[in-house]
Chains A and B, each alone.
Chain A
C-alpha cells in the first residue's frame, strides 16, 4: 500500500496493484518475524476495535427500544443466529459464537480493507487458509466425536445404486478434502482481485484523457467490492454452517 506514487516516479504507466498486499513491519525496517508488529497487526487490531465498538459499546445501554448502533448489533446477531439455526438445526446453535466470530472477523476485515490506504488481512491466503483449516479440522473432529465411524457415512451415498457407490465415495472424499482449499481461496481471491483491479484502474488515472473514465470505473468497482465484502463474509459463514451440519447429521 501507499506505493501508488511509484508510477509517477518514472513518468510512464507503472502498475503496482499487488503492493498493497505486502506485509511490512509497522516500526523500523527489520525482518518480518512471527511476533513483529506489522500492518497485519494494525488492521487486525482495528478489526477487533470495530467489533468491540459495534457489539459491546453499541449495546451498552441494553435498551428495550434500541439505538441505531444497538439495532445494527442486534441485526448482525439475529442474522447469524438465524442462519446457524436454519442450516444446522437446533443442536448447531451452541456453535453460534464460533461462527459469529468468523463472520464478524471476515465482515469487518473486508470492509476495513475497503478504506483507502488500508491493508486487507482477508486477502491473504495465509489468513483465509488458517480460517478454512480451522473450520475443516473442527468439523472433521466434531463429526467423528459426535458420530464415530458413522461420520464416514457422509461419503457413502446410500441412495445411489450399489455399483456407483465406490466411485461416488471417491468423489465425495476428494470434494471433502478440497473444501478448505475452495473455502479459503474463494475469500482471499475475491478480496485480492477486487482490490487489485481498483489499483489497476487507479494506475490508468495517471493519463489525463482516461482519468474520468478511470475514476468512474473505480467508483463502480468500489460499489461492487462493498457488495462482495458482505457476500463473501456471508458465504464463508454459511458454508461453515453447511459443513457443521454435515458433521452433526452426516446422513445424506
Chain B
C-alpha cells in the first residue's frame, strides 16, 4: 500500500474507525508495521499463551492422555480376555473329545464283557441242550431197540406158529413142536 492511499478518504476512514491521525498514518500502509500497537498485541498474546498453556497442561492434556491410555488398556485387556476365553474353549473341546474317546472305550469294554458273559451262558445252554438231546436220543434208541426186539420176538413167535401150523398140516404128528421151534430159531439166526 503506497503513500497515495494516505489521502482525505484514508483520513476519513481512520476517523471513522476512531484511530487518531498518527495511527492512521502508519496503518494506511501495513498495520502490521504500526509499532504503536505492538505492546498491546504482545501483552495480550502472552496472557493468551499462559492461559492456553495452563488449560492444556493442567486439564486438557492429562485428561486426553489418560483417556487414550485407558482405552489402550481396555483394548489390551479385552484382547487378553478373548485369548483366555479362546483357550478355555479349546480346553473344553479337548476335554469333550477325551470324554468321547473314554466313553467309546468303555462302551467297547462293556460290549466285550457282555459278549463273553453271553457266550459262557450260551455254551452252557448248548452243552445242556446237547446232553439232553443225547439223553433223549439214547432213550429213543433204547425204545427203538426194545420195539425191534419185541418185533423180532413177535416175528419169531409168528414164524414158529406158522411153521407148526404148516408142518402139522403137511405131516401131522410126525414132527414135534420142540424141533420145529429150534429149526425156526436156527433159520432166523442164520
Contacts and interface: CB of A to CB of B under 8 A. Distances in A.
Contacts of B63: 56, 59, 62
Task: Among B20, B31, B47, B52, find the residue whose CB has the most chain A CB atoms closer than 10 A.
Answer: B52
A226 to B, nearest CB: 22
B161 interface: no
Interface in B1-49: 1, 9, 12-13, 16-20, 23, 27, 29-34, 36-49
A101 B49 contact: yes
Given A23-B31, A64-B74, A6 B9 contact: yes
Contacts, number: 161
Nearest to B55: A52
A87 to B, nearest CB: 18
Interface stretch (A36-44, A152-160, A175-183, A243-251): A36-44
Secondary structure at the B interface, as helix, strand, loop or mixed, is helix
B34 A23 contact: yes
Contacts of A100: 56, 61
Interface stretch (B65-73, B80-88, B103-111): B65-73
Contacts of B61: 55, 77, 96-97, 100
A126 to B, nearest CB: 4
Contact of A126 (B23, B38, B64, B70): B38
Interface in A58-72: 59, 62-64, 66, 70
A119 to B, nearest CB: 10
B60 interface: yes
A126 B36 CA distance: 11
Contacts of A17: 1
A105 B52 contact: yes
Contacts of B41: 23, 40, 121, 124, 126-127
Interface residues of A, number: 61
B69 to A, nearest CB: 11
Contacts of B70: 62, 64
Contacts of A74: 64, 67-68
A205 to B, nearest CB: 19
A24 B47 CA distance: 18
Contact of A70 (B23, B31, B65, B67): B67
B40 A36 contact: yes
A173 interface: no
Contacts of A64: 67, 70-71, 74
A32 B23 contact: yes
A21 B30 contact: yes
A218 interface: no
A127 B23 CA distance: 18
Given A19-B13, A22-B31, A77 B64 contact: yes
B57 interface: yes
A126 B71 contact: no
B96 interface: no
B68 A18 contact: no
Interface in A73-105: 73-74, 77-78, 96-98, 100-102, 104-105
Q: 5 closest pairs, A vs B, by CB? A: A29-B18, A55-B60, A23-B37, A21-B31, A44-B48
Interface of B: 1, 9, 12-13, 16-20, 23, 27, 29-34, 36-49, 51-53, 55-57, 59-61, 63-68, 70-71, 74
Given A10-B9, A38-B40, A59-B64, 15 more contacts: A6-B9, A21-B27, A22-B19, A22-B27, A23-B37, A24-B17, A32-B37, A35-B40, A45-B48, A48-B48, A55-B59, A56-B55, A97-B61, A100-B56, A105-B52
Interface of A: 3, 6, 9-10, 14, 16-19, 21-25, 28-29, 31-36, 38, 40-41, 44-45, 47-48, 51-52, 55-56, 59, 62-64, 66, 70, 73-74, 77-78, 96-98, 100-102, 104-105, 121, 123-127, 130-131, 188, 192
22 contacts: A6-B9, A6-B16, A10-B9, A14-B9, A18-B30, A22-B17, A22-B19, A22-B23, A23-B40, A25-B18, A38-B37, A40-B40, A40-B44, A47-B48, A97-B57, A101-B49, A121-B45, A124-B41, A125-B32, A126-B38, A126-B45, A127-B45
